[in-house]
Structure 1
Amino acid sequence: MKYTKENFIFLLCGIIIYIVDIGVDFWVASKYFYKGQYTWAILIISFRCLSSLITQIFSYQWFKNDCEGTDPEKLKWIFLVHFFHCGIFIRYWFALKYGCQAAFKQNSNGDVSETDHPNFIQKQAIDVLTDINMLRIFKTFLETTPQLFVQIYVLMEHRNHNFYQYAAIIMSFCGISFSTVDYQISLRKSLPDKDRFRVLSKLVYLFYKLLTITSWILSISLVTLLSARSSVILLILLWSCGFAWTLKQHTTFCKSKKMEFLYRTIIGIVLLFTFFNIKGRKTKVPVSIYYVTHTLVTVGILLVYWFWKPLVVKEIHFTIVGILTILCLVLGIVFLVVYYRLFHPTCYCKQRTCFDEVDRGAGDNVEIGRFQNFIMQ
């Protein structure tokens, strides 16, 4: 798979959304503070700080692994930048640099040195972009998705709706959209002998993720309206199941045991909201179990509301919310089935043993990237 101009455009869009998302978060938090709704403001800022801290830790650790044996002063400078929570911008700078070379400049110059071989530049661009997409997955499910849950919960609980709440929800959906699709693109590029991730397959995958996540967030919001304690217990129980599954998979994403434990903890949180392919392997059985479980829990929540009929049912227009929850779930499962039947790659974890003559060259003898090495374990 090549780094294309389309990938570069998606990168630019991702940078813009990332910067705008920061501004929207602080804008929404300031509005909540101004109205005296301190709980929601603190939650919005807390999710932002938590996701930033986690992404800085992983980003710095990856820089440290990649810079082994280099100048210690360089690592000190990198640590300082990450300490001030700006590490992601260094990665975006490298992504723009290598991405521009891979997508635009290589086609116009046929004479290159061995160090600037097209295959090497392509690999550099893809590896840097893959690291960013992995960090954005962490950010999405540590910050964006919980914030979306908070905003939807506030809208369901209170009748007064404001523009900044809708702006936050729109930005959350945009963040989820780009991060999930970009991660799948990175997974496809890291799996050899895979099909190309075309526009139609991206759209199907996008709708599958957005619809299932929306249905699940609405369901959890309903539980929270009934009882915040029950919601916390349910989320902890589901997180424990996801964490146990990552332990069973024997993931090897990080070099140190502490970082690997943190990684598995984060993946458990990701699995609260959506299925996550952590090893690049066949997932027919796990994904089936995952969404059957989510469907049963969602139906159970709606039945509790239907038979219990608390006063909150009338206040939140339960019929509309219930229909929307079921509709999103059903359509999401439909898009899931279509994606896995028609667009999901059928060849996993097979090392490429031969190359086309035009691709063979000095740049082929490069080290396997962090993400590819992880999924090939």
Structure 2
Amino acid sequence: MRFMKQDFVMMVLGIVVYVADVGADLWVAKTYFCGEQYLWCAIILVTGFISSVVVQFFSYIWFKEDNAEQLNWTLFLLHFLHGGIFTRYWYALKYGYRAAYKSNISGDKLIDGSTSLIHKRAVDAMADISMLRLFKTYLESTPQLILQIYILMTSDIDVRTFSQYFSITVSFTSISCATVDYQIALRKSLPDKNTFSMISSKITYFSYKLLTLTSWILSIALVTVLSINGSIILLGVLWLGGISWVLRQHTSLCKSKAAEVVYRIIVGIILTFTFFNVKGEKTKIILCVYYVIRVLITLAILCACMFCKSLFNGKIYLLSVIAAVVASLVLGIVSLSVYYRFFHPSIYYAQDVVDGRGDERNETCRIRRFLIQ
């Protein structure tokens, strides 16, 4: 475990992005409100609020599990006012600065024979933030992106603006970047098959996530145009499938049963959009099954769109969208195959205790009990 200067810089940028994302949501909601599109405004605000509640909930629960003796009303109040994530960033920046910029720190020690305690704390803090960002991404950014594309597809061509296309493109990229940042934090805690370098595994993994998510979100948006109820039913069925898989894995991220139930619900939502290995076990077969089902559902959606193309009323170039869906899905599967063939870690971990302030030698990062890619 090594926390580098580039990790510290990325963490600072993460704070900026988080604040900008919240501001952008409020700006979009205000735009819809001023345009008397109250339903769209409500969806933006509700998804943002729900994701924030989940993030604050897990942030406080993890503080409670890790530092029960240091909890106070100030920390509870910060989380109640939706400022807990900034507390997380404060601790991460404090540990990260010491690890990245101060080579000789009094009171520091080695654990497991080679890992510096301060580096471990910085990496663990970064990992917790990456998990919380992943929650926010799939609870807020992804539904909002589907909404943006749906609005674009159902609006007249002459009223569309460049900002809509730009916003959608940035959203696709930011969702993929959040997933890659999580993978980087994961690699900090697991031995690697190969180094996660910028020109190889990072780009391959980013391409895999970006392309498969692009194909799937476009497909969901097409279903929504055909039938909003059909889209809700499809996502509901897939969510139930994800929940069933999570329950079979008997996850144990949280010490509290209530928190574990909420965690499993959230993981089911994440699995609705992209694949993650829930317990760090070998899942070659389930991975293949997941994407075979994804391909079959996507083909069914595209066939339905061609059969009911009159419903689009010429507001979108349907053949172009279908071509984009097929191309991104194929290229995404190719990137996935390359990633798992050459870059995926080959060592798997059994479930272990969560990170905390007890015996640092025997603790593992919480991320090893979270979603493993």
Q: TM-score, normalised by structure 2?
A: 0.90
Residue type of the partner of 1:92? Y
Residues 72-221 of structure 1: matches in 2 within 5 Å?
74-106=71-103, 109=104, 112-114=106-108, 119-159=116-156, 160-192=159-191, 194-199=193-198, 200-221=200-221
Distance across 2 between alignment mates of 1:364 and 1:63: 16
Q: Secondary structure at the match of 1:8?
A: helix
8 Å CA contact retained: 2:279, 2:369: no
Corresponding residue number in structure 1 for 2:355: none
Residue type of the partner of 1:330? V
Residue type of the partner of 2:21? D
Distance across 1 between alignment mates of 2:142 and 2:331: 20
Deviation at 1:367, TM superposition (A): 2.8
Q: Secondary structure at the match of 2:2?
A: coil
Corresponding residue number in structure 2 for 1:22: 22
8 Å CA contact retained: 2:211, 2:328: yes
Inter-CA distance 167–307: structure 2 relative to 1 (3 Å threshold): closer
Residues 1-377 of structure 1: matches in 2 within 5 Å?
1-68=1-68, 70-71=69-70, 74-106=71-103, 109=104, 112-114=106-108, 119-159=116-156, 160-192=159-191, 194-199=193-198, 200-312=200-312, 314-349=314-349, 365=361, 367-372=363-368
Q: Secondary structure at the match of 2:116?
A: helix
8 Å CA contact retained: 1:188, 1:194: no
Distance across 1 between alignment mates of 2:265 and 2:370: 17
Residue type of the partner of 2:124? D
Inter-CA distance 166–45: structure 2 relative to 1 (3 Å threshold): farther
Inter-CA distance 322–350: structure 2 relative to 1 (3 Å threshold): same
Q: Secondary structure at the match of 1:181?
A: helix
Distance across 1 between alignment mates of 2:85 and 2:35: 32
Distance across 2 between alignment mates of 1:60 and 1:322: 43
Inter-CA distance 23–279: structure 2 relative to 1 (3 Å threshold): same
Distance across 1 between alignment mates of 2:332 and 2:180: 15
Q: Secondary structure at the match of 2:251?
A: coil
Q: TM-score, normalised by structure 1?
A: 0.90
Distance across 1 between alignment mates of 2:178 and 2:280: 17
Deviation at 1:366, TM superposition (A): 5.6
Distance across 2 between alignment mates of 1:261 and 1:350: 21
8 Å CA contact retained: 2:50, 2:139: yes
Deviation at 1:195, TM superposition (A): 3.6
Unpaired runs of at least 5, structure 2 = 352-358
Distance across 1 between alignment mates of 2:129 and 2:94: 14
Count, aligned residues:
359
Corresponding residue number in structure 1 for 2:354: none
8 Å CA contact retained: 1:3, 1:126: yes
Corresponding residue number in structure 2 for 1:355: none
Distance across 2 between alignment mates of 1:339 and 1:148: 26
Deviations 1:59-100 (A, max 9, x none): 0000111122x24xx421111000000000001111111111
Inter-CA distance 350–244: structure 2 relative to 1 (3 Å threshold): closer
